[in-house]
């Protein structure tokens, strides 16, 4: 892994959603200095959106696949 253990932070949170079911989410953070070492930083032109977003069906299909919907 290109990062040291003190350069990455992973947080797990969970709670009951509006539908009454438990939901969990993970937040991953990496120190900016560690990203810069790999040539990644917010000032790069590629760090911003450079084109149109994918169509709505693309997002829906990705979510279905992530949940193990149809294959």
Q: Per-residue pLDDT tens for 38-68?
A: 877 767 666 666 678 878 888 788 888 877 6
Whose structure tokens read 């937040």? 27
Q: Is the pLDDT of residue 4 over 80?
A: yes
> How many C-beta neighbours within 10 Å does residue 6 have?
8
Region 23-47: mean pLDDT is 81
Full residue range of the structural domain in which residue 1 is found:
1-43
Number of domains in the chain: 1
List phi, psi (to 5°) of 36.
-60, -35
Read off the pLDDT band of 16 (50, 70, 90). very high
Task: Let me know if residue 53 belongs to a domain.
Answer: no
pTM: 0.46
- Residue 64 resides in a domain: no
Residue 55 in domain: no
Count of residues for the chain? 71
- Specify if 2 maps to a domain: yes
């Amino acid at each position: 892994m290109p990062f040291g253990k003190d350069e990455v932070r992973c947080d797990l949170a969970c709670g009951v959603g509006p539908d009454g079911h438990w939901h969990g989410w993970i937040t991953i953070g990496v120190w900016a200095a560690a990203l810069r070492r790999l040539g990644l930083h917010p000032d790069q032109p590629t760090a911003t959106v450079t084109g149109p977003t994918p169509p709505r069906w693309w997002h829906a299909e990705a979510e279905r696949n992530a949940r193990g919907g149809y294959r």
